[in-house]
Structure 1
């Protein structure tokens, strides 16, 4: 699984509010974006999105910008945080994992 691509797809879906709109902005098929997000959820053993036929929302929390001043990637990084609760161990592990994924990429070329 392309971890960085999966994270980008997840953020785009949340920002756009739908897989179709996210796919359009990414220039990818909707099925590819959906598969990336499903793979990300499976790798984390977490359901990140609530899906209905009309909308997509973040599961039980909010999209919180973090590391907005950090260079790689060329987009701000976001993490889902449970609303009104302290971060769980899974949340902390996910945040550490995201930081590790991005630190493995070259900031100028965007490649590992």
Structure 2
């Protein structure tokens, strides 16, 4: 049986992540439960956004063939609301938050989702 990934990147999002990593070094995503831009996945230099006990690491997203990954974090409370979905990180035209690394590119990351069977949250 194939394991359905909990989080994945579209080809366009993976391409943007590769470009951002070339410019900024290792990256991470964080998906909060906020409104407006707070509900969009935010891309930061790895470690710049401080995660804590209220966050869980949902996936290590592979973006190239050399084994480097980008962590995708989500607030635990947000995961409870989205536990039945596969999150698909896409990129669309338009300006998102000024704090996410893609903002100067004139695009923004966006979550698309598909319903899947629920898993327990990862981690402790």
Same fold (TM over 0.5): no
Give the helix-richer structure, 1 or 2. 1
Give the strand-richer structure, 1 or 2. 2
Scaled by the length of structure 1, the TM-score of the pair is: 0.28
Work out which structure has the larger RCO, using CA pairs closer than 8 Å and 6 or more positions apart in sequence. Answer: 2
